[in-house]
Chain A
């Protein structure tokens, strides 16, 4: 029964990884940008929510909503003011800019909040769970998985049903032609980054409710999100969901036998996929 529980926990953990990875996958799919500050932006959101909860009258859920909205605005501005310029400054520029941003965010958080670990207190919700025999399904785990599914379904619908979404796909295929036929590539890119930041803010806050966090954990989140994207297949959001679940399962099942090897197991799954099926589980169409 312990193993079955490990599988269930793996799925829940994988949901959170997929939520982290969705934004990374979207930004890569649309702009071919790997945002190395992705994980750190999630951590920033967690600290913003923490500050809102401690210093204002807002309840946690309201702080979460405010933080997501702030992140969406920040994402739009980040793309328009910084990343858009770096796209035209050579192939390495976005990588260097987002890596620089990552180091800046980590160290600023450390100067502001010290290196101590914090957590986002949600009262009894943090420990509430549905018990089925030996299996316990925590509400927070379900929340992460549910948000991941909602984000991915939402983004897929957005890409296929709305005018901006369709322009986003067009701009992804060929920005110049898309601009010729009337798409504003810069606006479309900024909307994509905005969605990415809103989703990673959610992921960062769910993580902060599940376990303690500190200024430097963003790197680990980035690595897990990245692994989920590659395992699933570049440029495919459904693949990213599968990749997240695969990573969560690998970590949780190996962790059931030896907790010390859980993270290594995730990395090895990633390397195995790289060696045996480099296009990922679900390869993107046409690439």
Chain B
């Protein structure tokens, strides 16, 4: 099962196997243009716009990681807040050691992935729905352990040090860029991972796990890699949350609410499509902003929409787009084109 030659177009008879289409190449170019445009935004718009976009980027990063985990790895977790919290506290800890909080976000990603190794050993003993609740319990354990640490602020949390000598405008812009980078890296990492050997293994597992194992696919390793990447991404997102808020509170950063956000976004946007979380996050974000004055009703509405999508529209909004137009911004599969009719 060699994956090294797969990107070269293979020609056989009158057909050609390719990953991308003209539409997806334009889509990809469009996305790059959007990213460049977003990067320039702090020079153009008010800070209130960029600071609310930080929330959107965090949601995109987290939801992309959950989609990778559940949509491609088949591991629906309700415990990714464990890594949001660990990432957040890593930034706090790193700042105490004199590490710049923005650099601390990278440390947070790394440390989250390291802690995900022993966590996965326990969590992988549970399957399916039980894995979901088991990861939630593990997140609670991390929260309760953090609360016991006085140097991390105990139950009431702490303020983030190390950014006080930075000007407000510069800090807001830097936070915005950090959030944008984390979101882009999370989406790109998912894309690259799925194009490679891991993606091929996961596709084989999704189609038929027993057959995949029999064919020599190392299922557990593929799943573990996905789990670690997902932990790193959520850790980085948690780091951004703390840099943005300048403080941390254990109940909030380890809240299962993060998982609720990730799940709603992915389910509404389209689970199992890399584009799904992007679309879902925009919908979620718009509703959150629009219904901000009505308490938690936006969450109730999203819960209803998510539950309804899970039953009646299991492929989400992006599934509808693909069904109607065949558009894939991130081509991770293969498509068959006729070459003799042109």
The answer to whether A89 and B310 touch (CB under 8 A), given A103-B303, A219-B256, is: yes
The answer to whether B141 and A264 touch across the interface, beta carbons within 8 angstroms, is yes
Residues in chain B near residue A178, CB distance under 8 A: none
| CB within 8 Å for A95 and B129 given contacts A263-B144, A264-B144, A267-B144 | yes
Name the CB-closest residue of B to A265.
B144
| Chain A residues with CB under 8 A of B299 | 103, 107
With both beta carbons as reference points, the residue of chain A lying nearest to B294 in the complex is identified as A111
Q: Which of A100, A104, A264 contacts B310 (CB 8 A)?
A: A100
Does B94 belong to the interface (CB within 8 Å)?
Answer: no
Chain B positions 124-148 with a Cβ under 8 Å from a chain A Cβ: 125-126, 128-130, 132-134, 136-138, 140-141, 144-145, 148
* Interface residues in B62-91 (C-beta closer than 8 Å to A): 70, 74, 76, 78
* A234 to B78 CA separation, bound complex (whole angstroms): 19
Of residues 50 through 70 on chain A, the ones whose CB sits less than 8 Å from some CB of chain B are none
Interface size class of B (residues with CB under 8 A): 35 or more
Q: How far is the CB of A27 from the nearest CB of chain B, in Å?
A: 10
Minimum distance in angstroms from B40 CB to a CB of chain A: 37
Whether A271 pairs with B307 at a CB distance below 8 angstroms is no
Among all A-B residue pairs, the 4 with the closest Cβ atoms: A100-B307, A34-B129, A96-B310, A104-B303
CB-CB under 8 A for A100 and B296, given A34-B130, A274-B125, A274-B126: no
B130 partner residues in chain A, CB cutoff 8 A: 34, 226, 230, 234
The residues of B that contact A104 with a CB separation of less than 8 Å are: 300, 303-304, 307
Q: Does B168 contact A (CB under 8 A)?
A: no
Q: How far is the CB of A262 from chain B (nearest CB, A)?
A: 10
Residue in B closest to A234 when the chains form the complex, CB atoms: B130
Select A223's contact among B140, B145, B271, B304, beta carbons within 8 Å: B140
Kindly state whether residue B95 has any CB partner on chain A within 8 Å.
no
Interface pair A86/B263, CB less than 8 Å apart:
no
Q: Which of A93, A110, A223 contacts B311 (CB 8 A)?
A: A93
Complex Cα–Cα for A234 and B141 (A): 22
In contact, B137 and A96 (Cβ under 8 angstroms): no
User: In the complex, what residues of B have CB within 8 A of residue A92's CB?
Assistant: 70, 76, 271, 310
CB distance from B333 to the nearest CB of A (A): 19
- Chain B residues lying within 8 Å of A268, measured Cβ to Cβ, are 141
B:115-174 near A, CB below 8 Å: 122, 125-126, 128-130, 132-134, 136-138, 140-141, 144-145, 148
* Count of CB-CB pairs between chains A and B under 8 Å: 118
Do B296 and A107 have beta carbons less than 8 Å apart? yes
Q: Across the interface, do B296 and A110 meet the contact criterion of CB distance under 8 Å?
A: yes
Interface 1/0s, chain A 95-129, versus B by CB < 8 A?
A: 11101110110011011000000000000000000
In the complex the two chains form, what is the Cα distance from A93 to B307 in whole Å? 8
B residues neighboring A (CB under 8 Å): 70, 74, 76, 78, 122, 125-126, 128-130, 132-134, 136-138, 140-141, 144-145, 148, 256, 260, 263-264, 267, 271, 295-297, 299-300, 302-304, 306-307, 310-312, 314
Q: Please report the C-alpha to C-alpha distance between residue A223 and residue B143 in the assembled complex, in whole angstroms.
A: 14
What's the least CB distance linking B135 to chain A, in Å?
11
A275 part of interface (Cβ distance < 8 Å): yes
**Does B144 lie within 8 Å of A91, measured CB to CB?**
no
Of A36, A86, A260, A278, the residue contacting B125 (CB under 8 A) is: A278
* Choice from B122, B267, B306 contacting A275 with Cβ under 8 Å: B122
What residues of A have a CB within 8 angstroms of the CB of B138 in the complex? 271
Say which residue of B260, B295, B303, B314 sits within 8 Å of A93 (CB atoms). B314
B125 surroundings in chain A (CB, below 8 A): 274-275, 278
**Contact A96–B296 (Cβ < 8 Å):** no
- Could you jot down 11 A-B contacts, CB within 8 Å? A92-B76, A96-B307, A97-B307, A107-B296, A111-B295, A222-B133, A226-B137, A230-B134, A234-B130, A264-B141, A275-B125
